[in-house]
Amino acid sequence: MATTPPPSTPPTQPPPPARVASTGARPEPGTARAGSRPCSVADALSVVGEKYSLLVLREVFLGVRRFDAIARNTGAPRDILAARLRRLTEGGVLEKTLYSTRPARHEYHLTDAGRELEPVLHLLRQWGDRHLTDRPPITVEHSCGTGLDPILVCRTCGEPVTEGSCRVHFQLPGWTFAGAVPAQAPSDDRPAEA
């Protein structure tokens, strides 16, 4: 980004975020296979889309910062948790600080970029509450005093982001709704799934 947005921060305009990576490249090439759709959703998921990653963030949002407690509360196997914490730290979502030197022990804190993922957790919680349980184990109260029922709106007009209110534009040549245009599409003559 060449310019920085103005620093004014009215209630509906949170401060612009710090850039985690500015290379324009995929943060983890292994996640985006050759021929797959270039997309910031895929890029984001390469940082937070592995199993347990978002549960780790849930714990840190709740104030649980240490490995053993995160492992217990997420149910993540310890080797997998170590890998997730490493990826989240490398990806600029968490930062690691030493809280004990003998032995060396670390705590994990959210970065500014990490805090921006809180709305994703609210939406997933809402979806799980709606569709997967009759008795939500955790409820969230908004500052207005009601049980939080979050909704995504357009920051400019304030209207809900609904199916049909958005139009997608592909910025890279050769990409359409269907995928890469035939000349650039990888050949694939394996049998289709039945």
- By CB under 8 A, what part of segment 93-132 binds its own copies? 103-106, 113, 115-132
Q: Could you give the CA distance from residue 110 to residue 85 in angstroms, rounded to a whole number?
A: 11
E strand or H helix that includes residue 34: none
E strand or H helix that includes residue 108: strand 104-110
Map the footprint of its own copies across residues 45-74, applying CB under 8 A: 45, 47-51, 54-55, 58-59, 62-64, 66-69, 71-74
176 Cβ neighbours under 8 A, 6+ residues apart:
170
- Token representation of residue 34: 């050759």
Pick from 60, 87, 88, 92 the residue near its own copies by CB under 8 A: 92
Phi and psi, residue 40, nearest 5°: -70, -20
Q: Provide, rounded to whole angstroms, the least separation between the CB of residue 7 and its own copies.
A: 16
Nearer to its own copies, 44 or 95 (CB): 44
Pick from 20, 89, 90, 107 the residue near its own copies by CB under 8 A: 20
Q: Provide, rounded to whole angstroms, the least separation between the CB of residue 9 and its own copies.
A: 10
Nearer to its own copies, 95 or 122 (CB): 122
Q: Could you give the CA distance from residue 47 to residue 24 in angstroms, rounded to a whole number?
A: 15
CA atoms within 13 A on the CB side of 141: 4
Pick from 1, 4, 7, 8 the residue near its own copies by CB under 8 A: 1
Map the footprint of its own copies across residues 146-175, applying CB under 8 A: 146, 148-163, 165-172, 175
Q: Provide, rounded to whole angstroms, the least separation between the CB of residue 30 and its own copies.
A: 10
Q: Provide, rounded to whole angstroms, the least separation between the CB of residue 13 and its own copies.
A: 9
119 Cβ neighbours under 8 A, 6+ residues apart:
150, 152
